[in-house]
Structure 1
């Protein structure tokens, strides 16, 4: 499915309507559309949901000429839960997602073969997290925030 999605969006100037139609035929989850800054500084969610302009760059959120509030830019959000449900429906991907449950910890002193050898993960395991083989550990890496 990944290859099909990449092929569908390989053109440089894909029309949004065409992109939505193609993506919805490949992926059986509907996106939540979120207003965002035209310069991608922020998403207008949480404590920013009622703002009319970007708190970072000052760009307006809505088109001026429209009587109705029409955002200048939106992004599609696909909830993680829905994405994991789809992935677990594929037998091969389901096995890949069980990597954490099947991982054998490296016992050598100060040798880290994977994130699952790390102290933070081990602390979470000791607290009773990750008891089911379907449990998934996520990590985040941010650039510039």
Structure 2
């Protein structure tokens, strides 16, 4: 890694705290002589290259109504709020969001030794309170899946759900928050 890469990684750590764009810009200016850091966009692209993660930038409505993908991919305005997709002067998207695949995110978690050990919690979990739910792994659905054979395309496989220590019990909850 170059010295600039190391500085940008430090900048990336600061960015990951949720610092505002304005504050990050002020920090860059203040540290320009001792620790020069590139812009947020350059840092994100460089970290993506260094990590091997390939983010996908997807245009979205300025009001977060829709993402311009799938059936909306060719739209030039939001069909809900009628806001334009592109800046009239520049032709660039007015808003985008960064998508990183779930698989890439999970791979990244397992590459970190400390987090990988923490992910082993599920496989080491032992219920200590029968008939009480103290953890998601005490739940009826999870306990039922432990006894159930995995079936793919109608064909039962020779193992049960979560039988391997590295298996992941993934739950997704959607509370109506904005994704982009």
**Where on the TM-score scale, by shorter chain, does this alignment land: which range?**
0.7 to 0.9
Once the two structures are superposed, the pairs formed by residues 114-125 of structure 1 within 5 Å of their partners are 114-125=135-146
Is there any run of 5+ residues in structure 2 with no aligned partner, and where?
1-9, 26-37, 149-159
Instruction: Report the number of matched residues.
Output: 139
Note the alpha carbon deviations across 1:62-104, whole angstroms, 9 max, x for none: 23345xx632111111112112222212211110111111111
- TM-score under structure 1 normalisation? 0.76
Once the two structures are superposed, the pairs formed by residues 1-145 of structure 1 within 5 Å of their partners are 5-8=12-15, 10-13=19-22, 14=24, 18-26=39-47, 28=51, 29-66=53-90, 70-109=92-131, 111-127=132-148, 128-144=160-176
Instruction: Give the number of the structure whose alpha-carbon radius of gyration is greater.
Output: 2
User: Offset at 1:26?
Assistant: 4.3
> Is the alpha carbon distance of 1:24 and 1:87 closer, same or farther for their aligned partners in structure 2, counting shifts above 3 Å?
farther
**Contact kept in structure 1, 2:58 and 2:69, CA below 8 Å:** yes
Root-mean-square deviation over aligned CA pairs: 2.7
Is there any run of 5+ residues in structure 1 with no aligned partner, and where?
none
> Is the alpha carbon distance of 1:64 and 1:51 closer, same or farther for their aligned partners in structure 2, counting shifts above 3 Å?
same
Residues in 1 aligned to 2:72 and 2:135: alpha-carbon distance in whole angstroms: 37
Residues in 2 aligned to 1:56 and 1:104: alpha-carbon distance in whole angstroms: 49
Name the structure where strand makes up a greater proportion of residues: 2
